[in-house]
């Protein structure tokens, strides 16, 4: 009897060990697929869970990468009976998979609740892709590919046909903060730099504009610029970058801020370049991956170069500014201000000099991910 119990115990232990080894192998497969397809979890979703159900293995979760799902299932089914419950986003349950930001500023958070951390923002006229919805919130992807949650009240939802019409319509950029007003001088909505609105008609020295949610009002014709959908690639000029950056001087720092109301360091750079026709990656640790690397010497820098700062030991990027010449750089730190890398200057920052990790030159670099012309981005212009 004792021998039988011993054999049974050994069999159970062997079975448990085999299950544990199989689980480790399957988890390793998930890690390998994720490492291959997901270079940055801020711009792609790959949230996978394995659950055993009777004699089958249930693959649960969601991803934005169909190819990653296909590869994962192919590798797992070689040794398991699989149940596929892995959802590819956007969710098929969403009727209108696009939206246009309809408030001057829409806050993007890391979870679907107002108390969650602010991670980014979109401004009025920014198109977003709807990935999924929960309560009164939507998980959206912005044109810089950043993924976060925003409240549905910030958005005007549209279907594919409406999206095509918006991308083909006549629009203008708003050049300064202000107000959209009705015919009686009443405020319809506040506006921020870079807002993109649809033109209804020109009225002498004013322009009648339509907001994404259907509201309309007028602004002075001198505070908007035509959005040239079929124009050439925007030209980045160092002096233009400086002039735009100086318009933000004194603006308060806000973690997650990317508007002309308040900005974080990388949000500030996004504004400067967006107002000059280009969409940058969202965060400083992403922005350093694009452009041409520059020698870590002040003498090698040119106006418009992005300067990156962080921890010297780990090489982790935590801050970014823009070089404006004569040893000085402009950045958002407490507020938008100018500091110098020259220790003889009154505005010298020893802290920034000691934490200077790298520099990237965007001017003259080929457009692409991380440096995308607005008028070439398929979410802004219908090229079909």
Any idea what the CATH number is for the domain that residue 186 is in? 2.30.30.40
Beta-carbon count within 10 A of 2 CB: 6
Q: What local confidence, expressed as pLDDT, does residue 5 receive?
A: 52
Instruction: Please tell me the pTM assigned to this model.
Output: 0.91
Looking at the structure, tell me whether residues 275 and 315 fall in a common domain: yes
Q: Is there a domain that residue 12 lies in?
A: no
Give me the number of domains the chain comprises: 4
Q: Is there a domain that residue 269 lies in?
A: yes
Choose the final residue of a domain: 205, 227, 249. Answer: 227
Q: What local confidence, expressed as pLDDT, does residue 303 receive?
A: 96
Partners of 51 in the β-ladder: 58
- The first and second tokens of residue 259, run together, are 């508007």
Q: In what order do the strands lie in the sheet with 118-123?
A: 118-123, 105-109, 147-151, 137-141, 127-134, 98-101, 155-158
337, 329 contact by CB (below 8 A): no
- Residues 88-106 have pLDDT tens digits of 999 999 999 999 999 999 9
Q: What local confidence, expressed as pLDDT, does residue 384 receive?
A: 66
Q: Is there a domain that residue 21 lies in?
A: no
Looking at the structure, tell me whether residues 123 and 218 fall in a common domain: no
Q: What local confidence, expressed as pLDDT, does residue 54 receive?
A: 75
> Considering 19, 265, 335, 377, which one is annotated as catalytic?
265
> Considering 114, 186, 319, 365, which one is annotated as catalytic?
319
Q: What local confidence, expressed as pLDDT, does residue 77 receive?
A: 80
- The first and second tokens of residue 138, run together, are 């939507």
Looking at the structure, tell me whether residues 255 and 269 fall in a common domain: yes
Q: What local confidence, expressed as pLDDT, does residue 55 receive?
A: 79
Q: Is there a domain that residue 120 lies in?
A: yes
> Which residues have a Cβ under 8 Å from the Cβ of 341 and sit 6 or more positions away?
298, 327, 328, 329, 348, 349, 352, 353, 356
Choose the final residue of a domain: 145, 164, 183. Answer: 164
> Considering 19, 114, 176, 331, which one is annotated as catalytic?
331
**What DSSP character marks residue 192?**
-
Q: CA–CA separation, 187 vs 184, rounded Å?
A: 9
Which residue do the tokens 């220790």 mark? Answer: 343
Looking at the structure, tell me whether residues 253 and 325 fall in a common domain: yes
Q: Is there a domain that residue 47 lies in?
A: yes
Does 265 qualify as catalytic in the annotation?
yes
339, 351 contact by CB (below 8 A): no
Choose the final residue of a domain: 137, 164, 191. Answer: 164
Q: Is there a domain that residue 318 lies in?
A: yes
DSSP three-state, residue 181: strand
Q: How far apart are the first and last CA of the chain?
A: 78
- Residues 201-247 have pLDDT tens digits of 998 899 999 999 999 999 999 999 999 887 788 999 999 999 999 99
Contacts for 378-381 with beta carbons within 8 Å, 24 or more apart? 379/127, 379/129, 379/143, 379/167, 380/127, 380/143, 380/167, 380/196, 380/227, 380/229, 381/167, 381/229
Looking at the structure, tell me whether residues 142 and 214 fall in a common domain: no
Does 187 qualify as catalytic in the annotation?
no
Looking at the structure, tell me whether residues 150 and 83 fall in a common domain: no
Looking at the structure, tell me whether residues 242 and 370 fall in a common domain: yes
Does 365 qualify as catalytic in the annotation?
no
Looking at the structure, tell me whether residues 358 and 249 fall in a common domain: yes
Looking at the structure, tell me whether residues 52 and 78 fall in a common domain: yes
Q: What local confidence, expressed as pLDDT, does residue 20 receive?
A: 45
Instruction: Give the residue ranges of the chain where pLDDT is below 70.
Output: 1-24, 79, 384
Q: Is there a domain that residue 1 lies in?
A: no
Q: Is there a domain that residue 178 lies in?
A: yes
Host domain of residue 151: 98-164
Q: What local confidence, expressed as pLDDT, does residue 13 receive?
A: 46
Looking at the structure, tell me whether residues 248 and 304 fall in a common domain: yes
CATH number at residue 52: 3.30.1340.30
Question: In whole angstroms, how far apart are CA 181 and each of 107, 250, 321, 363?
Answer: 24, 27, 36, 38
Looking at the structure, tell me whether residues 68 and 107 fall in a common domain: no
Q: How far is CA 356 from the centre of its chain?
A: 24
Q: What local confidence, expressed as pLDDT, does residue 78 receive?
A: 73
Looking at the structure, tell me whether residues 321 and 194 fall in a common domain: no
């Amino acid at each position: 009897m004792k021998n039988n119990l011993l054999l049974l115990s050994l069999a159970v232990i062997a079975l448990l060990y085999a299950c544990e080894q199989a689980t480790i192998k399957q988890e390793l497969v998930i890690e390998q697929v994720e490492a291959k397809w997901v270079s940055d979890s801020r711009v792609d979703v790959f949230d996978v869970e394995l659950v055993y159900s009777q004699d089958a293995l249930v693959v649960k979760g969601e991803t934005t990468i169909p190819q990653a799902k296909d590869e994962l299932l192919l590798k797992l089914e070689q040794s398991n009976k699989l149940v596929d419950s892995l959802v590819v986003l956007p969710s098929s349950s969403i009727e209108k998979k696009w939206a246009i930001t309809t408030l001057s500023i829409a806050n993007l958070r890391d979870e679907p609740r107002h108390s969650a951390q602010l991670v980014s923002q979109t401004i009025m006229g920014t198109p977003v892709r709807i990935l999924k919805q929960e309560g009164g919130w939507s998980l959206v992807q912005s044109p810089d590919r950043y993924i976060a949650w925003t409240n549905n009240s910030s958005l005007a939802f549209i279907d594919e046909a409406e999206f095509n019409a918006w991308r083909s319509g006549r629009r203008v950029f708003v050049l300064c903060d202000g107000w959209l007003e009705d015919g009686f001088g009443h405020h319809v909505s506040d506006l921020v730099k870079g807002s993109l609105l649809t033109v209804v008609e020109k009225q002498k020295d004013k322009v009648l504009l339509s907001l994404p949610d259907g509201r309309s009002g007028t602004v002075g014709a001198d505070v908007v610029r035509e959005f040239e959908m079929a124009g050439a690639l925007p030209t980045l000029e160092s002096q233009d970058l400086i002039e735009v950056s100086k318009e933000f001087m004194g603006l308060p720092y806000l973690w997650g801020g990317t508007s002309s109301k308040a900005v974080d360091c990388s949000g500030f750079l996004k504004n400067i370049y967006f107002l000059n026709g280009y969409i940058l990656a969202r965060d400083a640790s992403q922005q350093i991956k694009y452009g041409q690397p520059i020698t870590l010497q002040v003498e090698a820098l040119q106006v418009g170069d992005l300067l990156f700062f962080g921890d010297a030991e780990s090489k982790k990027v935590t801050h970014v500014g823009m070089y404006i010449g004569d040893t000085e750089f402009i950045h958002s730190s407490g507020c938008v201000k100018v500091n110098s890398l020259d220790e003889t200057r009154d505005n010298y920052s020893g802290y920034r000099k000691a934490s200077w990790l790298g520099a990237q030159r965007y001017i003259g670099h080929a457009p692409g991910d991380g440096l995308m012309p607005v008028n070439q981005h398929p979410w802004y212009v219908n090229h079909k």
